[in-house]
Amino acid sequence: MKTVKELYHQKVLVLGLAKSGTAAAEVLHELGAFVTVNDAKPFEENTYAQHLLKLGMTVICGSHPENLLDEGFSLIVKNPGIPYTNPVIAEALKRDIPIWTEVELAYRISEAEMIAITGSNGKTTTTTLLVDMLSKGPKEPLVAGNIGTVATTVAKSATKNNVIVTELSSFQLMGTVNLKPSIAILTNIYEAHLDYHKDLEEYREAKLAIVKNHTAEDVVIYNGEQSILVERLKHVASRKIPFYVSARHDDGMSADENWIYFEGEPVYRRDEIRLPGAHNLENILASTAAALVMNAPLNQIRHTVQTFAGVKHRTQYVGEWQNRLFYNDSKATNALATKSALEGFTKPVILLAGGKERDHSFNELIPYLSRVKAIVHFGETKSRLQQFADMQGVAGYPFNTLSEAFQKAIDLSAEGDVILLSPASASWDQYESFEIRGDEFIALFNELS
């Protein structure tokens, strides 16, 4: 771990705990900062706060006091989920107190090279593909961020023989200052998270922060068929590697019906790819480009694309039965996540949805309902989903359980249809976790087979 001298004996506030805030507080403490942590969860229920108090940090729990900033903090490290409209954050901005997210701290302490991946869709799949491709390469990959261990925890023990592959959200990227990944991947940018960002431009700027410190020695890999990315990256100093899924190109990564190309030269046959879908081809091209830049062995890259069937519970391809395709997206616990899943399909979809009632809107799905043949819903949200289906003119079928809904989806389906579990709801009404819900879907499919 690198020493960050400018943090020594500085007063630092960590706002919001959970895993990332706790890891950041521990590292800051080790670096010699005077750390105060503040979390809305009461102390008696807050195991993270109890742990940090034992380490000698100042702990304030249960609320965010109005006078919290009067301690004279020189830095705030905030949980990415806390919006900039939060009263403490808004006041800190007025006082010109720097605000980081935990990934900025991770970058500053890391001895390892960093690859950062962001985008509206495809981040997790691209990250997972790339880690596997790099597994036989010159540097051992470590996965961090949204799908792995907290970035500061990984960075703390990483060496120059490692490369940290980290998935980053717009929330995390807004809190970066010096972050400069040697390879940045922008899978795509669509309208998203406008409940957090004040407008689409702020969201885009947050995503593009991944390259704001790039120089000519760095690489940016991006969707060359998205005009917004082509335009916004035009003046970035990085080496640019676009990817294209629609035709062969002489620059970047591209694909035609038969081959995957790098700078116009064939790399592997398209029919070697196991993971279906045009949206997944984007992820494969992006990860392949990064792996080639990192000098990963071609045989390992090919092995990855030949064997990778998707990230479990994240639009995971489960299999085919009687010319119907089955996908498990149990991780989709809100409408925004289900919207992302629906975006990837052009075939008719029978959507299995429902779960814990948290009064979330399903309106995010409206633009993508044209590809939904029916919504078969279950659990606590089944009544609201039926109302939603009726209002949108989509056939809806309510059931109590996933098993019943699954059977109805089979009955409704025709050859060529997609049967997609993407619940747009949490799992806790009937399951301990979304993983258990997804595993049941997989088991139901296996019974068909």
Residues in the chain: 449
CB 168 within 8 A of CB 116: yes
Check the annotation: does 252 bind a ligand: no
Query: CB atoms < 10 A from the CB of 342, how many?
Result: 24
Name residue 352's amino acid: L
The phi, psi pair for 73, rounded to 5°, reads -70, 140
Q: Where are the alpha helices (DSSP H) in 6-141?
A: 18-30, 47-54, 87-94, 102-109, 123-134
Element spanning 262, H or E: strand 259-262
Alpha-carbon span 330 to 9, nearest angstrom: 45
Which residues lie closer than 8 Å to 325 by C-beta, 6 or more apart? 276, 317, 319, 347, 417, 418, 419
Residue 370 sits at the vertex; the CA angle it makes with 367 and 376, to the nearest 5 degrees, is: 100
Residue 276 sits at the vertex; the CA angle it makes with 272 and 280, to the nearest 5 degrees, is: 100
CB 56 within 8 A of CB 33: no
Which residues lie closer than 8 Å to 285 by C-beta, 6 or more apart? 243, 244, 245, 253, 254, 255, 260
Element spanning 339, H or E: helix 335-343
Check the annotation: does 119 bind a ligand: yes
Query: CB atoms < 10 A from the CB of 61, how many?
Result: 19
Check the annotation: does 85 bind a ligand: no
3-state secondary structure 121-181: CCHHHHHHHHHHHHCCCCCEEEEEECCCECHHHHHHHCCCCEEEEEECCHHHHCCCCCCCC
Check the annotation: does 400 bind a ligand: no
Which residues lie closer than 8 Å to 387 by C-beta, 6 or more apart? none
Check the annotation: does 347 bind a ligand: no
The backbone region for 403, taken as left when phi is positive above 0, alpha when psi lies in -120 to 50, beta otherwise, is alpha
Alpha-carbon span 399 to 38, nearest angstrom: 43
How does strand 113-118 pair with strand 183-186? parallel
- Going from the C-alpha of 112 to that of each of 7, 141, 163, 166, 289, the distances in angstroms are 20, 10, 5, 12, 20
Alpha-carbon span 279 to 58, nearest angstrom: 47
Annotated binding site for ATP: 119-125
Annotated binding site: 119-125
